[in-house]
Amino acid sequence: MLLQDKVVLVNGGSQGVGAGVVRAALREGARVVFTGRRADAGEAFAKETGAVFVRADLADPAKARGSVEQVVDLCGRIDCLVNAAGLTSRGSLLDTTPELFDAHVAINLRAPFFAMQAAVRNMVDRGAPGTIVNIITSSAHGGQPFLAPYVAAKAGLVGLTRNAAHAHRWDRVRINGLNIGWTDTEGEDAIQRAFHGAGDDWREKAAEAVPMGKLGQVDEIADFVVFLLSDRSGVVTGSVIDWDQIVFGGLD
């Protein structure tokens, strides 16, 4: 098992990619704690999987740090952190309000920063190695016009991932990011319906419009995240990997 007896925290783990990582980490032998804002969804998922649920609104920096502190209180340490919580509500350069911009920064950049701060501090204080994976987005390369605040925050997370990895390489804390592309999740379904007027057949139409004939799949992404968390990914740190079917820089 790739994560045998590792203590893993998945922030934003009650649905979507985060939930997939929770399942994959449990399968690979980890002790898993996950956070979410909705108590009903989190408690139901915890009951289903056997993972431990901690309710937390990560927009509050104290709660982001506190998510790690609660894991340490429960398990004595933290070995692995996955920052999977994300806000994808739409906004362009011209119509984004300061409130929407701040909401994106709070969830997509500030929350990972302070969760990483607490996790790395625990690892360094114990003199123990650890791994962190940040779920980012291929849109960090530029993205669509209607994703302006999202791209701004996630591009910041790209830089933070590399900065933190460089700063703590001698502590043997490996920090990597995954730029995921268009992915089939519950959240994406809600976004497509709310912002793009999509019908029940949007997944089929989307699959026809991409090279591999399907959107990114949660279980496949989760397996890759577990690999990056595990010792099998070797010495790799500071990498932000494009996990997408778009070839960035390629032109027709």
User: Per residue in 93-120, pLDDT tens?
Assistant: 999 999 999 999 999 999 999 999 999 9
What is the helix, strand, coil percentage profile of the chain, to 5?
50, 15, 35
Q: For residue range 218-233, list pLDDT tens digits in order.
A: 999 999 999 999 999 9
Question: Distance between CA atoms of 82 and 98, rounded to whole angstroms?
Answer: 28
pTM for the model: 0.95
| Cβ-contact 150, 116 below 8 angstroms | no
Two tokens, residue 246: 């778009």
Query: DSSP class of residue 216?
Result: B
The pLDDT of residue 177 is above 90 = yes
The upper half-sphere exposure of residue 245, i.e. CA atoms within 13 Å in the direction of its Cβ, equals 14
Is 150 marked active-site? yes
List the catalytic residue out of 105, 150, 151, 175. Answer: 150
pLDDT band at 195, cuts 50/70/90? confident
Joined together, the tokens standing for residue 194 give 């709310």
**Average pLDDT, whole number, for the chain?**
96
Pick the closest to residue 2 from 69, 79, 72 (CA basis).
79
Supply the DSSP symbol for 93: T
**Tens-digit pLDDT profile for residues 13-66:** 999 999 999 999 999 999 999 999 999 999 999 999 999 999 999 999 999 999
Spacing of C-alpha 13 from chain mean position: 9
d(CA 70, CA 55): 11
Token digits of residue 17: 């990619």
Instruction: Tokens 């998945």: give the residue.
Output: 10
Find, among 137, 130, 148, 144, the residue nearest to 177 by Cα: 137
pLDDT score of 191 more than 90: no
**Average pLDDT value for residue range 74-82:** 98
Do 59 and 107 meet the contact criterion of CB atoms below 8 Å apart?
Answer: yes
**Contacting residues for 127 by C-beta, under 8 A, at least 6 apart:** none
Interacting residues of 11 by C-beta distance below 8 A, sequence separation 6+: 18, 34, 35, 56, 58, 64, 67, 81, 82, 83, 84, 85, 111, 112, 115
Q: How many CB atoms lie within 10 A of CB 191?
A: 15
